[in-house]
Structure 1
Amino acid sequence: MSTIQHPTKQLASVLFDLDGTLLDTADDLGAALNHVLSHYNKQTVVAKHYRPIASDGALGLLNLGFGATIKQYDYDVLRQQFLTYYQENIAEHTCLYPGVAQLLENLETNNIPWGIITNKPEGLTKRLLPYYPEFANCAVMVGGDTLTKRKPDPEPILHACQQINVDHKQCFYVGDALRDIQAGNSAAMTTFVAKWGYILSNENCQTWQADHIIAKPLDLLNFIN
């Protein structure tokens, strides 16, 4: 698997996952989890344990925090408590990963449209993005509930390509989870693992069958310029 390779076909667009790829949202998600745990007098979770699970959203984090005891609670209530706190504190600690701003600026300078396809609910995504002016020129955004299907199904990615009128076979998709790579591969895109994201230390990303694995956001420029 090459780490530096120039594309052999014209690049139409670059599409990204959000959490763990463009934005480091883990500490705000972890705070929401710990708020719910504290409400039920449960032991809170430290960052080193919740960060690798952050991409799995409310379900993954609540399962992490409550463990087997989650069956003793109404999950829908727990999820709503989690989401309410998160929505009200959505950008307290969240920040762009180093290099993301420069990467997006480079894409815009080269007239390459870029967009976001995330499993985060559309309402939360729309609430979060305006905090970061670097996202002002995002060409398309598809949330986890925008359509009836979400990643790893390729439909959200294909829908995004239709919205900005680009050939999906000439696009890159970048994400930090197996479902991102599965969706991108199913859409016949060139896929990149964002190794800086929320990936367990013992996870072997080589098995995901991505086209490339990159260590930091600006590494993507090696495939564009």
Structure 2
Amino acid sequence: MPHFAAVLFDLDGTLLDTAPDLGAAVNHVLDTHAMPRLPDAVIRRIASDGALGLLKAGFGEEQLAQMDTPELRQALLDYYAAHLYEGTRPYPGMVEFIASLNQAAIPWGIVTNKPAFLTEPLMAQVDELPHCGVIVSADTLPQRKPHPAPLLYACAQLGVEPTACLYVGDHIRDIEAGRAAGMQTAIAGWGYLDPLENSAHWGADLQFADVSSLHAWWSQL
């Protein structure tokens, strides 16, 4: 029998590589203001910081403070919402790992700080990852990660105990939320980790360089 009753994933930078479409959205806004585009390496480093983080990187905090930031943010989100699944794809090995969970009847789900108006239409297009048991978005509850409530809610929806759940994410808030919920936690080393930040200090139980390593470890349980 598997050691875990369920697996929960962060979305951006863990389950899906969404940086191509997030980057296209911020670069669209930069284009409209005749600003230099952000390179892919920068986008991947700050993708977890959301629309505001991308805009700060593109315009600089000083210039952004002099602009209509809500309007720029809405322009970014509007473009992104219209192009959710163009460059975005599951990470290499994720299709196979999810298939193995489905075959073993291990429920899996998503707990993300992405708002539902983006999360739900995005996942509706990801046919390669079927049978997602629960999606908890930033606005599903009053709290969001690093608060443990979204993870506890996901477990309740799946009918599993938090202590029997593994949470996989690529940001310190994922690990903090998972630990606070009483789950075992794993760092998605393939995600949007800041190279200047030492993830070894996050307190996770596990860390994997790629999805194949996670899958191989899971197969030995």
Verify same fold: TM over 0.5.
yes
Q: 2:139 matched to which residue of 1?
A: 145
With the length of structure 2 as denominator, give the TM-score of the two structures.
Answer: 0.94
The alpha carbon displacement at 1:54 in A equals 0.9
Match among 38, 42, 51 for residue 44 of structure 2: 51
The SS at the match of 1:133 is: coil
Gaps of at least 5 residues in structure 2 are none
Residue number in structure 2 paired with 1:192: 186
1:171 corresponding residue in structure 2: 165
Work out whether 1:31 is the aligned partner of 2:9. Answer: no
- What are the within-5 Å matches in structure 2 for residues 12-161 of structure 1? 12-68=5-61, 69-161=63-155
Deviations, residues 60-106 of structure 1 (Å, cap 9, x unaligned):
11111111211011221111100000011111111111000010011
Partner AA of 2:16 in structure 1: L
Aligned residues: 218
- Over the matched positions of the two proteins, sequence identity in percent amounts to 48
State the AA in 2 paired with 1:91: Y
Could you give the per-residue CA deviations for residues 21-61 of structure 1, whole angstroms, max 9, x where no partner exists? 01111011011001111112222111111111112211211
Q: For structure 1, which segment, 95-104 or 37-46, has the greater mean C-alpha deviation from structure 2 after superposition?
A: 37-46
Q: Report the Cα distance in structure 1 between the residues aligned to 2:10 and 2:92, rounded to whole angstroms.
A: 16
User: Structure 1 unaligned runs (5+)?
Assistant: 1-6
In 2: Cα distance, 1:70 partner to 1:64 partner = 9
**Alignment root-mean-square deviation, CA:** 1.4
Task: Give the corresponding residue for 1:207.
Answer: 201
Moved more, 93-102 or 37-46: 37-46
Secondary structure in structure 2 of the residue aligned to 1:135: coil
- Given that 1:104 and 1:134 are in contact with CA atoms closer than 8 Å, whether structure 2 keeps it comes out as no
